[in-house]
């Protein structure tokens, strides 16, 4: 009967039958009702319907009977199948078998079903009269439409359950991974490299190390054997490959070695120490387990944010931020919530330790992130005009990303005060100024002055370079000099040479400089000649007498 594979195949797309409920006196009609239902299942050929009618049998319960599945093979309707299924079934329900013609057709749509009388079963989907029982779930439904919806809902629930179970299984796998001890060892790929290859790699990446048995750098994060969640978090943060400081520092940190690391600002140092810290505290039970000290609030906030990103989804990995300028009670409260990692500024940490009973006995790792950039004194750059100050300040900011501002006579008093305060509070990393900042002010924290334009007089030059290294501190001045200030060449050399500064050959070989030097020597000679000394006094008198006698 099912020889034709196409028929069998098509039957697989039939929706399930619904079971028909009947009261005891209606039991005899169940089979007929079921036949209608199976014809309602629809795209079946006659042979199928016939088969379905024959396969139907009754099942009696206390108050009702139900029909079993009509079609042997079937699939659950997919979400997109709902309307298709309903329509087909609706059509089918009109197409009743002749034997069943006396029977009321199975309700295709919920709206054609009546509301339930008190005590009658209620449709699980729409709450109308639950005339039928879904053979798949044994739930009361009112129509084929609601049966299809009900099956879809059930299917969705099952799917959710499965994915929950999958997630649970995944997290169990993760927990298992977290419970197994983690020991860093060189990845087989790294081990397979030759010493020269490693040295060449380090050379090219500018990695320089000191110390005993320093492990080889990693080349990819995957070489660390991190838990999947951590690898995922790295990708999420956009960390595709480690930066050079991370390549070398992560394996060292994962081995639990002490490190003093130095790399440029923005080179990825934070993640370089955070990743080993995360792996070390992951299995710690005593809390807090790690303390990260940062010199400023901004840096602490940044570190904690990055730590959270990398720890997301890892079990029991809470952080706390302890910084001034934010209310203390919430920070204290959070600190007591079994946090694994503290990110703090020293001031706020001491304040908390002094006044609270918090113990930090669990701390095994201390990281001090001392970003040199934040302590670096600002650079003062002198130019010779307002437009130059504005343009250079913008250019330096755009190219280097440093916080820059311009200072000149067109800035209002409010702006000037703000700039000066910003300079003292290290809000600005570079100030480009005309001569207005050249005199008087004690800019104690300026250590570097750049004379981008050489001033027009030595007097001004001396004042400008004097902004660096005030109050006995040493400082540095870098002066750009060209032929525009050729009249000062010899003066500059005289001034700067005694400090031991190596002067550029272009300056030392300049004809202007030699000319100035020669003239000065001549002037000196003249001056010397006009001076009265014991050696020349008789000559001067004689000369004087001679001149007088000639008159």
CB of 126 to ligand AMP, least distance (A): 53
CB of 267 to ligand AMP, least distance (A): 5
* Residue choice 38, 113, 246, 464 for contact with ligand AMP (CB under 6 A): 246
Three-class DSSP category at 11 = helix
Asked if residue 239 binds ligand AMP (CB under 6 A), the reply is: yes
CB of 299 to ligand AMP, least distance (A): 9
Give the CA diameter of the chain. Answer: 167
Residue 39 or 243 with smaller CB distance to ligand AMP: 243
Residue 268 or 469 with smaller CB distance to ligand AMP: 268
Residue 78 or 220 with smaller CB distance to ligand AMP: 220
The helix (H) or strand (E) run that includes residue 148 is: helix 144-179
Q: What are phi and psi of 65, to 5 degrees?
A: -115, 160
- Written as six digits, the tokens of 282 are 């992951």
CB of 220 to ligand AMP, least distance (A): 10
Instruction: Find out whether 182 and 225 touch, Cβ atoms under 8 Å.
Output: yes
The helix (H) or strand (E) run that includes residue 355 is: helix 346-355
Instruction: Find out whether 495 and 454 touch, Cβ atoms under 8 Å.
Output: no
Asked if residue 243 binds ligand AMP (CB under 6 A), the reply is: yes
Asked if residue 266 binds ligand AMP (CB under 6 A), the reply is: yes
Q: State the DSSP code for 15.
A: P
Applying CB under 6 A, the span of 7-15, 52-60, 267-275, 452-460 interacting with ligand AMP comes to 267-275
Asked if residue 278 binds ligand AMP (CB under 6 A), the reply is: no
Among 293, 292, 240, 290, CA closest to 268 = 240
CB of 264 to ligand AMP, least distance (A): 8
Q: How far apart are the first and last CA of the chain?
A: 156
C-alpha distances in angstroms, 139 versus 25, 187, 529? 22, 56, 126
Q: What is the rounded CA–CA span in Å between residue 325 and residue 348?
A: 9
CB of 304 to ligand AMP, least distance (A): 13
Applying CB under 6 A, the span of 207-215, 242-250, 337-345, 355-363 interacting with ligand AMP comes to 242-250
**How many chain residues are in contact with ligand AMP, going by CB under 6 A?**
11
Asked if residue 244 binds ligand AMP (CB under 6 A), the reply is: no
Q: State the DSSP code for 472.
A: T
Residue 268 or 347 with smaller CB distance to ligand AMP: 268
Asked if residue 248 binds ligand AMP (CB under 6 A), the reply is: no
Site string for ligand AMP, 398-437 (x = CB under 6 A): ----------------------------------------
Q: What are phi and psi of 366, to 5 degrees?
A: -120, 125
Asked if residue 322 binds ligand AMP (CB under 6 A), the reply is: no
Asked if residue 269 binds ligand AMP (CB under 6 A), the reply is: yes
Asked if residue 270 binds ligand AMP (CB under 6 A), the reply is: yes
Residue 21 or 269 with smaller CB distance to ligand AMP: 269
Which residues pair with residue 429 across a beta bridge? none
Q: What DSSP line would sit under 221-284, residue for residue?
A: GGGG---HHHHHHHHHTT--S--HHHHHHHHHHHTT--------TTSSHHHHHHHHHHHHHTT-
Q: What is the rounded CA–CA span in Å between residue 30 and residue 244?
A: 77
Q: What is the rounded CA–CA span in Å between residue 493 and residue 270?
A: 45
Residue 18 or 271 with smaller CB distance to ligand AMP: 271
Asked if residue 271 binds ligand AMP (CB under 6 A), the reply is: yes
Which residue's entry shows tokens 């923005």?
266
Among 141, 203, 163, CA closest to 16 = 141
CB of 223 to ligand AMP, least distance (A): 13
* Residue choice 267, 316, 403, 456 for contact with ligand AMP (CB under 6 A): 267
Asked if residue 233 binds ligand AMP (CB under 6 A), the reply is: no
Name residues whose C-beta falls within 8 Å of residue 475's C-beta, 6 or more positions apart in sequence: 446, 447, 448, 449, 467, 468, 469
Number of H helices, E strands in the chain: 21, 14
CB of 236 to ligand AMP, least distance (A): 11
Applying CB under 6 A, the span of 117-125, 238-246, 532-540, 541-549 interacting with ligand AMP comes to 238-246
Asked if residue 231 binds ligand AMP (CB under 6 A), the reply is: no
Applying CB under 6 A, the span of 141-149, 211-219, 240-248, 420-428 interacting with ligand AMP comes to 240-248
Residue 271 or 407 with smaller CB distance to ligand AMP: 271
Binding site for ligand AMP (CB under 6 A): 238-239, 242-243, 246, 266-271
């Amino acid at each position: 009967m099912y020889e034709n594979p196409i028929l069998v195949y098509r039957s697989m797309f039939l929706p399930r039958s619904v079971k028909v409920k009947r009261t005891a006196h209606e039991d005899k009609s169940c089979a007929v009702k079921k036949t209608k239902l199976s014809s309602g299942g629809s795209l079946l050929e006659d042979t199928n319907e016939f088969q379905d009618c024959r396969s139907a049998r009754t099942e009696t319960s206390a108050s009702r009977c139900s029909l079993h599945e009509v079609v042997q093979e079937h699939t659950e309707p997919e979400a997109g199948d709902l309307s298709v299924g309903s329509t087909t079934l609706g059509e089918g329900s009109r197409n009743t078998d002749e034997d069943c013609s006396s029977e009321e057709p199975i309700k295709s749509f919920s709206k054609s079903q009546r509301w339930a009388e008190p005590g009658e079963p209620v449709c699980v989907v729409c709450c109308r009269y639950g005339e039928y029982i879904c053979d798949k779930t044994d739930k009361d439904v009112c129509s084929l439409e609601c049966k299809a919806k009900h099956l879809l809902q059930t299917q969705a629930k099952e799917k959710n359950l499965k994915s929950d179970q999958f997630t649970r299984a995944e997290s169990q796998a993760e927990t298992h991974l977290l419970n197994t001890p983690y020991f860093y060892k060189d990845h087989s790929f790294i081990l397979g490299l030759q010493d020269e290859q490693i040295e060449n790699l380090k050379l090219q990446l500018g990695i320089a190390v000191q110390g005993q048995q320093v492990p080889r750098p990693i080349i990819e994060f995957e070489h660390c054997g991190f838990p999947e969640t951590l690898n995922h978090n790295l990708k999420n943060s956009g960390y595709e490959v480690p930066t050079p400081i991370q390549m070398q520092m992560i394996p060292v940190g994962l081995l639990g070695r002490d490190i003093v690391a130095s790399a440029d600002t923005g080179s990825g140092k934070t993640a370089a120490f955070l990743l080993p810290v995360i792996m070390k505290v992951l299995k710690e039970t005593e809390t807090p387990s790690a303390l990260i000290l940062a010199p400023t609030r901004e840096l602490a906030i940044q570190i904690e944010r990055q730590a959270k990103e990398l720890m997301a989804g890892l079990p029991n990995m809470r952080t706390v931020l302890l910084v001034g300028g934010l209310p203390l009670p919430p920070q204290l409260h959070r600190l007591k919530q079994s946090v694994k990692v503290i990110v703090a500024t020293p001031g706020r940490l001491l304040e908390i330790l002094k006044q609270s009973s918090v113990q930090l006995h669990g701390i095994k790792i201390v990281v001090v992130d001392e970003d040199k950039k934040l302590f670096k004194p600002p650079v003062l750059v002198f130019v010779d005009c307002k437009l130059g100050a504005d343009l250079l300040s913008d250019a330096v900011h755009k190219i280097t990303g440093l916080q820059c501002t311009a200072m000149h006579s067109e800035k209002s008093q409010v702006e000037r005060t703000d700039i000066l305060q910003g300079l003292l509070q290290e809000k600005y990393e570079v100030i480009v100024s005309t001569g207005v900042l050249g005199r008087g002010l004690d800019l104690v924290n300026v250590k570097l002055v750049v004379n981008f334009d050489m001033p027009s007089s030595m007097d001004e030059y001396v004042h400008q370079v004097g902004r660096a290294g005030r109050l006995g501190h040493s400082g540095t001045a870098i002066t750009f000099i060209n032929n525009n200030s050729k009249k000062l060449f010899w003066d500059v050399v005289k001034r700067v040479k005694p400090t031991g500064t190596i002067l550029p050959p272009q300056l030392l070989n300049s004809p202007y400089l030699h000319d100035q030097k020669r003239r000065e020597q001549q002037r000196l000679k003249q001056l010397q000649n006009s001076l009265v000394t014991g050696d020349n006094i008789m000559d001067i008198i004689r000369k004087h007498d001679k001149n007088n006698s000639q008159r």
